[in-house]
Amino acid sequence: MKVAIIGGTGDQGFGLALRLASAGEKVLLGSRDIKKAENTTNVIHNMLKGEELECIQAMTNEDAASEGDVVILTVPLQAQKITLNSIKDHLNGKILVDATVPLETCLGGSSTRYVDLWEGSAAERSAEMLKDKETRVVSAFNNISASSLTNIKEEIKCDCLISGDDVESKEIVMALAEKIPGVRAIDCGPLENARIVEKITPLLINLNIRNKIRLAGIRITGL
């Protein structure tokens, strides 16, 4: 299985690429600019320096979406629509994993505030955009910080809350998330529950700021 990361040059995409390549997954790191993708891939190569080198390849977003089986979207909200429009012709029959969090920063505001979207959540916004395609949208990785992902020497002590309407694609994404050491994937039900999950992230950012830390995450107990 090939995992494409769209916007893989940003903090979240970089962290996911690093962790998934390190776990032996075949990662296609996408960018609007191939040079930028190559630079980011070189940084990951230098951090890993092992057999994982063959696991990661720099590409344009379009090529990564075209070759990937699972496509992870890691761009800010203001880039979500334009980016999806640029790749949507390659998403037929594939799984799109949406990690977008609608933060007020997209309106020049605060990263500790959530912005309500007409569709209910960023993941549902992606699903609405792709409704003419046979793309299964899964919401995941919204609550795991880039700092935790990049801190490669440590296990990630967080749950990955996963929502989606298609059981098989959710299982595939849960298995992928659990390739990252320490991560427990939790099936959170239908895609509409991304409305709740996405709202946890600005709270975690707030806790990071208040406690002068960077690794706040969430664990569900009692399951």
Ligand X SMILES: NC(=O)c1ccc[n+]([C@@H]2O[C@H](COP(=O)([O-])OP(=O)(O)OC[C@H]3O[C@@H](n4cnc5c(N)ncnc54)[C@H](OP(=O)(O)O)[C@@H]3O)[C@@H](O)[C@H]2O)c1
**Which parts of this chain interact with ligand X (CB under 6 A)?**
7, 9-13, 31-33, 36, 74-79, 82-83, 99-101, 103, 142, 145-146, 201
- If the CB atoms of residues 12 and 169 are measured against ligand X, the closer one turns out to be 12
**Least Å from the CB of residue 54 to ligand X:** 22
β-pair type (159-164, 136-139) = antiparallel
**Least Å from the CB of residue 145 to ligand X:** 4
- If the CB atoms of residues 135 and 143 are measured against ligand X, the closer one turns out to be 143
Q: Mention every residue, 6+ apart, whose C-beta is less than 8 A from residue 55.
A: 21, 24, 25, 26, 27
CB 151 within 8 A of CB 125: no
CB 197 within 8 A of CB 139: yes
**Least Å from the CB of residue 77 to ligand X:** 6
**Least Å from the CB of residue 99 to ligand X:** 4
- If the CB atoms of residues 18 and 167 are measured against ligand X, the closer one turns out to be 18
> Which residue minimizes CB distance to ligand X?
10
What b-and-e string marks burial along 149-158, b requiring 16 or more CB atoms within 10 Å of the CB?
bbbeeeebeb
- If the CB atoms of residues 7 and 49 are measured against ligand X, the closer one turns out to be 7
What ranges in 49-150 are assigned the alpha helix state H?
A: 61-67, 77-87, 122-129, 146-150
